[in-house]
Amino acid sequence: MKKLKEILHESKYLKREFGDKLPTLDSVMKQHQESKESIKEYIDLGDPVRDVRDHLKNFSKDLDNKRLGSFDGDSGEYHGFEGGDDKLYATRYKKMSAWEKKVKKTLDGLIKDYVKVWK
């Protein structure tokens, strides 16, 4: 059996203790507005896609900014007779090729995830 205390409530928005002042219309309206969840009536589905494009642009800039050597095989850093390292070009090419495959695999997986979103 329910107790009378559990049944009687002045308001579902206000919690008033014994001896507290009676609520005013303004205080009730304010508390009610604060208790509402904010609801977005419009959500732009293009926002995440634009964000990803921005990430890719930044990634592209980082590729240029973080490069610490030359792409050119004729560069002096790859030739021992010019003070460079004869094996450096082959080593870098091998590592860059492995990195490229890793990037390709990651991007392919991300596209698959993107397609799943639309299903």
Residue with structure tokens 């508390």? 31
List the alpha helices (DSSP H) in 2-75.
Answer: 4-7, 25-35, 46-65
Is the Cα dihedral 103, 106, 109, 111 positive or negative? negative
Indicate whether 13 pLDDT > 60: no
- How far apart are alpha carbons 107 and 116 in whole angstroms? 14
- Residue type at 46 in one-letter notation: G
- 10-14, 35-39, 69-73, 90-94: which is most confident: 90-94
70-89 residues labelled b (16+ CB within 10 A) or e (exposed): eeeeeeeebeeeeebeeeeb
Encoded tokens for 13 = 């928005």
The pTM of the full predicted model, rounded to 2 decimals, is 0.57
